[in-house]
Amino acid sequence: MATRPRSKLPTVQLFTDGACKGNPGPGGWAWILRHVESGTEKADSGGEPKTTNNRMELLAVINGLRALKRRANVEVITDSVYVARGSQEWMPQWKQNGWRRREGGRWRPVKNVELWQQLDKLLSRHQVRFTLVRGHSGHPENERCDRMAVEQAARYA
């Protein structure tokens, strides 16, 4: 009996950024997806008239992951400590506590909970790791995402 070779997950890099003119204010998000083996890229961006920078950072990752058609090994490359640490460190505790967090000795709902819950579902579909880069430090894809996100925010200004 022949054995089927194990299918290897495709590896993709997801570069993301969010921008906001004021906080809250008009905002934009952007992502670039790159299939590592082939070098093929896709990109998209969007925005909202009144939002926050954290929401735009979350939507960049959410929309980038939604663009994937099948399960993948994903490296999310972002300058958002909020998204990276939230996904890797804070979310498990938030879920365990009913999507609440301690603040000043009291339980408070997690901010942007609906986006965190969407992100949680998307992360469970893939093998994901986060890589933090410094914003505005010359990282080519981060700078490109920043330009796209700023352009989207400007549409609503």
Q: What is the pLDDT along the chain (157 residues), one digit of tens a residue?
A: 454 455 589 999 999 999 999 999 999 999 999 999 999 999 999 999 999 999 999 999 999 999 999 999 999 999 999 999 999 999 999 999 999 999 999 999 999 999 999 999 999 999 999 999 998 899 999 999 999 999 999 999 8
Q: What is the pLDDT of residue 44?
A: 98
Active site residues: 17-18, 57, 79, 136, 146
pTM: 0.93
The domain 11-156 is placed in CATH, from the list 3.40.50.1400, 3.20.20.70, 3.30.420.10, 2.60.40.1120, at: 3.30.420.10
Query: What residue spans define the domains of the chain?
Result: 11-156
Q: Other CB atoms closer than 10 Å to residue 116's CB: what's the count?
A: 20
Are 15 and 145 a contacting pair, CB within 8 Å? yes
Sign for the CA dihedral angle at 137, 139, 144, 149 comes to negative
Which tokens go with 134? Answer: 């410094």
Which tokens go with 103? Answer: 């603040």
